[in-house]
C-alpha cells in the first residue's frame, strides 16, 4: 500500500470558491487528485494540504507552511507519494522549485502530477526536463504579472477603480462597464464634500504650518472621516499629502484626460507641500528652513538661529516674579528665544542666552513690511509677460535679421556650387581657386549666423522658461504683501519660513536675515536691494 499526501494551492482566495470556474480552484484539484489516486493500484490518500491565496511565483518554499510540513513528514517517512494536480502547484520559482521537487525524490518520495505523470531523476535528461518545466512556469507567471500590472495601470489611467481603499476626496460611481465575470466596474468621481476638506488640508499645511499629527487631531475633532470610516491618523494625512493622484497623474508621472478631470490639487500646491514635508524630515538643522510646528506663541519658533554659535534658538516660557518695596507681588510671563547650545554649555557661545520673543518678532515684522513695500510698484502677472516681450524685442529683431542673411548666403552658396561644373569646362568667369575661396567664405558666414541664431533662440527660451517659473512665486509673494498685516500668527509664521532662508539674532538684538533666492529677484527688480542679504537693527 502506497501512502499518498496531496498538495493543493491557489494564488488568490477567490479561487477557493466552488462556484469559480477557474481550472485551478481547490475543489477541482481535490477531485482530480482523488480520481487519479483511485485509478492507481494500492494508492491511499492519507492527508491533504491546502494553500489558499499563496503565490507560487512570489512566495519562497521556505515561507510556505505546507511545504515545510511535507518536508518534515518526508524526513519521518510518513508518506511515499506527493500528488499534485500540476507540478506548478508545488511552485513557480525557476531557481528554487526544481530543487524542491528533487529534494523529495532524493528522500524517497515519488512526486506525481495528475496531468504530467511522475517526475523522475534517473538521468541528466530528467533533471533538465525538471528544470525546464519550472523555468517555463516561472516565465508564464512573470508574463501574467506584467499583463495584470499593465491592465491595472491602464484601468487607473482611465479613472476606473481597481480595488483597495477609495482615495479620500473621491467616491465610486457606475462606469457602465462590466468585467469578464459580469460584475460592474466602478469609476472614480470627485466627492464635493471631501474634496473641500482636501483643499482645507492643503491650505492649512502650506499657510498655517499644521503638521500631520496636529492635522489628524484637528480633522477628528471636527468630525471628518477618512475613506472607509475610522479616524484620521498621521500616516493617513501624510499619504494624502504625498499622493500625486490628486494632481491628475500616477507615481510614475503618467497621466490621461480622465485623470486630469479628477485633479484636485495644482502642481504648484503639490510642490509646496513636498517642500514642507521634506524640510521637516531634514535632520540637519542648519539646512532646515521650515518650522517643525507652528503651535507656539512666538512667530519664529523653530526658524531662528544664534548669530554667534550658529545653533538653533528654541522657544521657552519664562516667568519673572518678585516682591516690590511696598510688599506687593509682581509677576510677568514672557516668551523668550533661548540659545540651545549656550544654555546647555555645548559650546563657547559669546551671545546672549535668551532674547525676548516679542522684541525679536516685532523687528522681523518691520523687516517683512519693508520687503513687501517693494511690491507697491510691481507689475501685474500679465505685465510680466509684456516685460518679457519688451526684453526680447531686440533679440527677436536680431533673429529676423540673421534669418534674412542666412537665406541670402544659402542662395549665394547654391549659385557658387553650380559654377563648379562650369569651371571644369572653362565656361566660368571664376578660376577654381577663386571659386573655392568664395565658397569657403560663404560657408563660414552661414555657420557663424547659424551659431548666433541658436544662441539667441536659446536665450529667448531660457528667459521665457524663467518667467513661467517665477509667475507662481510672484503671485504668492504679492499675496503675502497684501495680506500680511491681517494674517493670523500661524500664517505669519509660515510666511517667515518661506520668505527667509535664515534669521540670526545676536547680542544687543542685532538681527540679520537672508531671503530665499526665489524672492530675492523681486526685491532686486522692484525694491531696495540692500535688504536682500542682511538687515541689522
Q: What is the pLDDT of residue 17?
A: 47
In 10 A of CB 236, how many CB atoms? 19
Q: How far is CA 170 from CA 173, 193, 204, 317, in A?
A: 10, 9, 20, 44
Please list the ranges in the chain whose pLDDT falls under 50.
Answer: 13-24, 285-289, 292, 526, 528-537
Q: What is the pLDDT of residue 145?
A: 59
Q: CA-based angle 138:142:147, to the nearest 5?
A: 145
CA distance 141 to 515: 56
* pTM score above 0.95: no
Q: Where is 321: in which H helix or E strand? A: strand 313-323
Q: Between β-strands 81-84 and 110-113, what pairing exists: parallel, antiparallel or unpaired?
A: parallel
CA distance 175 to 165: 18
What 3-state class would DSSP assign to 216?
helix
Place of cell 569651371: 423
Task: Say if residues 423 and 463 touch (Cβ distance below 8 Å).
Answer: no
Amino acid at each position: 500500500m502506497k501512502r499518498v499526501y496531496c498538495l493543493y494551492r491557489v494564488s488568490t482566495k477567490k479561487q477557493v470558491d466552488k462556484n469559480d470556474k477557474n481550472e485551478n480552484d481547490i475543489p477541482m484539484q481535490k477531485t482530480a487528485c482523488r480520481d487519479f489516486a483511485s485509478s492507481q493500484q494500492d494508492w491511499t490518500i492519507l492527508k491533504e494540504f491546502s494553500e489558499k491565496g499563496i503565490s507560487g511565483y512570489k512566495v519562497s518554499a521556505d515561507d510556505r507552511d505546507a511545504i515545510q510540513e511535507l518536508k518534515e513528514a518526508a524526513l519521518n517517512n510518513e508518506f511515499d507519494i506527493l500528488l499534485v494536480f500540476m507540478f506548478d502547484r508545488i511552485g513557480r520559482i525557476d531557481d528554487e522549485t526544481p530543487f524542491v521537487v528533487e529534494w523529495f525524490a532524493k528522500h524517497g518520495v515519488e512526486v506525481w502530477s495528475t496531468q504530467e505523470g511522475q517526475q523522475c531523476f534517473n538521468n541528466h535528461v530528467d533533471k533538465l526536463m525538471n528544470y525546464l518545466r519550472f523555468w517555463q512556469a516561472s516565465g508564464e507567471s512573470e508574463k501574467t504579472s506584467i499583463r495584470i500590472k499593465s491592465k491595472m495601470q491602464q484601468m487607473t489611467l482611465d479613472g476606473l477603480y481597481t480595488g483597495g481603499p477609495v482615495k479620500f476626496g473621491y467616491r465610486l460611481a457606475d462606469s457602465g462597464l462590466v468585467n469578464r465575470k459580469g460584475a460592474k466596474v466602478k469609476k472614480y468621481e470627485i466627492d464635493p464634500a471631501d474634496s473641500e476638506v482636501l483643499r482645507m488640508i492643503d491650505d492649512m499645511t502650506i499657510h498655517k504650518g499644521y503638521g500631520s499629527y496636529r492635522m489628524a487631531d484637528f480633522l477628528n475633532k471636527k468630525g471628518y472621516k477618512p475613506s472607509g470610516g475610522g479616524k484620521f491618523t498621521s500616516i493617513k494625512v501624510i499619504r494624502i499629502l504625498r499622493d500625486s493622484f490628486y494632481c491628475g497623474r500616477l507615481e510614475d508621472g503618467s497621466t490621461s484626460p480622465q485623470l486630469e478631470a479628477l485633479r484636485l490639487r495644482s502642481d504648484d500646491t503639490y510642490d509646496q507641500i513636498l517642500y514642507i514635508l521634506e524640510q521637516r524630515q531634514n535632520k540637519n538643522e542648519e539646512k532646515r528652513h521650515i518650522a517643525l510646528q507652528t503651535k507656539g506663541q512666538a512667530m519664529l519658533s523653530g526658524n531662528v538661529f544664534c548669530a554667534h554659535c550658529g545653533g538653533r534658538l528654541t522657544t521657552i516660557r519664562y516667568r519673572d516674579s518678585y516682591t516690590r518695596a511696598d510688599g506687593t507681588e509682581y509677576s510677568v510671563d514672557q516668551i523668550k528665544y533661548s540659545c540651545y547650545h549656550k544654555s546647555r554649555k555645548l559650546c563657547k557661545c559669546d551671545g546672549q542666552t535668551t532674547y525676548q520673543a516679542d522684541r525679536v518678532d516685532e523687528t522681523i515684522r518691520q523687516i517683512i513690511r519693508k520687503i513687501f513695500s517693494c511690491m507697491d510698484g510691481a507689475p501685474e502677472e500679465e505685465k510680466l509677460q509684456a516685460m518679457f516681450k519688451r526684453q526680447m524685442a531686440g533679440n527677436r529683431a536680431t533673429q529676423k535679421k540673421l534669418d534674412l542673411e542666412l537665406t541670402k548666403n544659402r542662395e549665394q552658396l547654391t549659385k557658387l556650387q553650380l559654377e563648379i561644373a562650369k569651371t571644369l569646362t572653362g565656361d566660368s568667369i571664376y578660376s577654381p581657386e577663386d571659386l573655392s575661396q568664395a565658397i569657403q567664405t560663404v560657408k563660414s558666414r552661414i555657420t557663424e549666423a547659424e551659431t548666433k541664431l541658436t544662441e539667441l533662440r536659446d536665450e529667448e527660451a531660457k528667459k521665457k522658461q524663467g518667467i513661467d517659473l517665477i509667475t507662481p512665486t510672484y503671485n504668492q509673494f504679492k499675496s503675502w504683501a497684501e495680506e500680511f498685516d491681517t494674517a493670523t500668527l500661524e500664517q505669519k509664521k509660515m510666511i517667515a519660513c518661506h520668505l527667509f532662508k535664515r534669521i540670526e539674532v545676536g547680542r544687543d538684538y542685532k538681527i540679520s536675515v537672508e531671503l530665499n533666492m526665489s524672492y530675492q529677484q523681486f526685491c532686486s527688480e522692484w525694491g531696495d536691494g540692500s535688504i536682500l542679504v542682511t538687515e541689522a537693527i
